[in-house]
Amino acid sequence: MFSVLRSPRRRWSPLRRVFGLGCLLGASVVACQSKDRAAKADAPSAERATTGSAAPIAGWAPADTDDFGTPLPTDASFARRVVSLNPAATEVLFAIGAQARLVGRSAWDEFPPEAAAVPNVGNGIRPNIEAVLQQRPTLVILYATAENRAAAQAFARAGVRTMALRVDRIAQFMSFTTRLGVAVGEGRRAQAMVDSVQQTLDRVRAVTGAATRRSIVWPLWQQPVLVVGGGSYLDELIEVAGGRNVFHDLAAPSPPVSIEEIARRDPDMIVATERTASELDAKPQWKSVRAVRERRWVHHNPVLTGRPSVVLGSAAVSLARLLHPELSAALPTLPVPAVAKGRAP
């Protein structure tokens, strides 16, 4: 989810799955497990150690902590100057009209396009501490992966508050957005955006609820083969859109599987970008999968599906129309995110 390298050979970078930005380059999302598995800290419960001061701080709520166990801000004065190293957070800040507080963002923040005007401080995983501190932040927003624990500790030592939040599931996006809204003094707008996204998801689910569940596989990576598993927001979008993920039983967001296992589970459809579908279609080993042989592809729009963010409602509508074109007339009009105007989609 992170890399902005333009080379087609690099577009499958697993780190992009973390921030959900590979979609802009035509890549599917991939879980950030290559780093987290190595650190044995993929589960959010493994991220609960406190990284800053454990003592109560004025304006912070000790009972409400981030995914590293650090108290979250309840007073927007802590967010006068924000560096966001979490692209989902950057997108939310624009969506709720708090972009004026941004004084830095990661190299992978590409949504909305207006984010390009915010100073680029480099990587969002294992960030350049000095480059971030040069922006004189009062709050740094991190993605809560084990790879960023040392950064959170370094910022705490420098007297800079942090929010480390993980967004792998739809519920995490909802919680993430409301907590971020409170932190920057835009709690009502954040709640309105969450409500809007939830209402769209509920409307799509109501339309597809009685539809025949079409089984699908969603490849995310080619070597090794990674697919959408039960731990991903994409698995949830599949269900909302009226599909059935044949790898829902695997708990990881992007578990490794064999092509033979995909063939054995025999999905009705394969969800992929047009480019990925073309690549897989040209590989002889994938011909063992009946859906590949019969060219039963569902070409998703990665700009919508590539991240668990303000476009989740749009992603659900788009995917539902792809899986169930016969229901298109009953589905809500595709929401247009207004992330550049500080309005909820």
Radius of gyration of the chain (CA): 20
Least confidently predicted of 56-70, 100-114, 281-295, 326-340: 56-70
What's residue 2's pLDDT? 37
Q: Are 286 and 270 in contact, with CB atoms under 8 Å apart?
A: no
Residues contacting 130, CB < 8 A, separation 6+ = none
What's residue 334's pLDDT? 63
Give 35's pLDDT tier (boundaries 50, 70, 90).
Answer: very low
For residue range 110-152, list pLDDT tens digits in order.
889 999 999 999 999 999 999 999 999 999 999 999 999 999 9
Question: How far apart, in whole angstroms, are the C-alpha atoms of residue 119 and residue 130?
Answer: 14
Q: Which residue from 76, 78, 77 is spatially nearest to 52, judged by alpha carbons?
A: 78
Give the percent of the chain with pLDDT over 70.
Answer: 78
**Taking 90 as the threshold, does the pLDDT of residue 245 lie above it?**
yes
Question: How far apart, in whole angstroms, are the C-alpha atoms of residue 268 and residue 266?
Answer: 7
For residue range 190-216, list pLDDT tens digits in order.
999 999 999 999 999 999 999 999 999
Question: How far apart, in whole angstroms, are the C-alpha atoms of residue 108 and residue 6?
Answer: 12
**Taking 90 as the threshold, does the pLDDT of residue 242 lie above it?**
yes
Q: What are phi and psi of 296, to 5 degrees?
A: -95, 75
Tell me the sheet residues that pair with 71. Answer: 65
Q: Are 123 and 181 in contact, with CB atoms under 8 Å apart?
A: no
What's residue 341's pLDDT? 37
**Taking 90 as the threshold, does the pLDDT of residue 276 lie above it?**
yes
For residue range 11-22, list pLDDT tens digits in order.
334 444 444 433
